[in-house]
Amino acid sequence: MDPARIAHDPRDGNLWGHWILTIIDEDKDNVYVMDPLGARHSQDAWKTVLNNGIKAFNAQIRGRPRKLSTWIMFSYRARRKDTYTQMELDEVREELATHVLEWLFD
């Protein structure tokens, strides 16, 4: 999986009130979704928005429609915690910023 060809979008403060990590692997036509509250109904608005975006991308960039992407849903329940300390949140932000900067500039 080529990191330069992967789109990822961590949503926070969205209309559902929690984050959803979405990774699109355009080479394999897979969409990986990590939802901490578990998978929702298949007609979820987020899935519709992404499917429409993928269709538009395929039509514009590839010049032809492709099959719909395969959606692979994950739910994260290993560490069940209602609240996090500010220090824990800052640690995650720092790790994310470091990763993104390395990804952009390496």
- Sequence ranges of the domains in the chain: 3-105
The strand ranges marked E within 1-106 are: 6-11, 20-25, 30-35, 70-75
Q: Which CATH number fits domain 3-105: 2.60.40, 3.30.420, 1.10.3470, 3.30.310?
A: 3.30.310
Q: What pLDDT does 37 receive? A: 66
Could you tell me which of 65, 74, 73, 71 has the C-alpha nearest to residue 30?
71
Give, as one character, the DSSP assignment of residue 20. E
CB-based burial of residue 31 (10 Å sphere; 0-12 exposed, 13-18 middle, 19+ buried)?
Answer: buried
Q: What pLDDT does 95 receive? A: 92
Q: What pTM value is reported for the model?
A: 0.52
Q: What pLDDT does 63 receive? A: 73
| pLDDT tens per residue across all 106 residues of the chain | 555 555 555 555 444 456 778 888 877 888 888 876 665 554 477 788 888 888 888 888 777 767 778 888 776 665 566 788 899 889 999 999 998 898 888 7
3-state DSSP helix/strand/coil percent for the chain, to nearest 5?
A: 40, 25, 40
φ, ψ (nearest 5 deg) of residue 11: -95, 135
Q: What pLDDT does 13 receive? A: 45
